[in-house]
Amino acid sequence: MKLIERLRADFGRFSFAPNDICRWLPEENTIYFAEDEAQLLHELGHALCGHRGFVQDVELLRIERDAWEKAREIGAKYGIEISDEQIENALDGYRDWLHERSKCPKCGQNGVQGRIGGRYRCLNCDAAWDANDARQCALRRYKQK
């Protein structure tokens, strides 16, 4: 039986829907998945961890790591191995992306992100910019474009 069919049977409390982008959408209680089984498990990891989004970018990395750890735990039960390297690679994609996000659009220095609203501010030139349009796992795909 295919992984997705087993997951559908074992995790009936979530909906699973094929899509071109993998993501967990808490508002719809739905896991969207593509071909990548590790990524599918990762999204399920988000669902099982109860992730609902994030405010600060630093939280994103923690959320992503938690979802991968969960994915590895579930994967083991289904005979799918997720290596440390695979997890670190995925997280590196986020790190690069976050680094870009924090860069000041005016002077190129790295800004700091406020606790409320996720808005960045540059300490060098005082520019401010929004970076709260991010959506968990869609980021990775977005970055690859």
Are the C-beta atoms of 112 and 120 separated by less than 8 Å?
yes
Taking alpha carbons only, the member of 80, 79, 82, 103 closest to residue 91 is 82
Query: What are 35's two structure tokens?
Result: 């071909």
Query: What are 115's two structure tokens?
Result: 């606790």
- Selected binder of Zn ion within 55, 127, 131, 134 (CB under 5 A): 127
- Selected binder of Zn ion within 67, 74, 82, 98 (CB under 5 A): 67
124 binds Zn ion (CB under 5 A): yes
Query: What are 48's two structure tokens?
Result: 């099982």
- Selected binder of Zn ion within 22, 47, 48, 137 (CB under 5 A): 137
3 binds Zn ion (CB under 5 A): no
122 binds Zn ion (CB under 5 A): yes
104 binds Zn ion (CB under 5 A): yes
- Tell the residue number behind the tokens 């959408």, with chain if given: 25
> Segment contacting Zn ion (CB under 5 A): 3-11, 12-20, 53-61, 65-73?
65-73
How many residues bind Zn ion (CB under 5 A)? The answer is 12
| Residue 137 Cα distances to 31, 48, 61, 97, angstroms | 11, 15, 11, 12
Q: Would you tell me which residues interact with Zn ion (CB under 5 A)?
A: 64, 67, 104, 106-107, 109, 122, 124-125, 127, 136-137
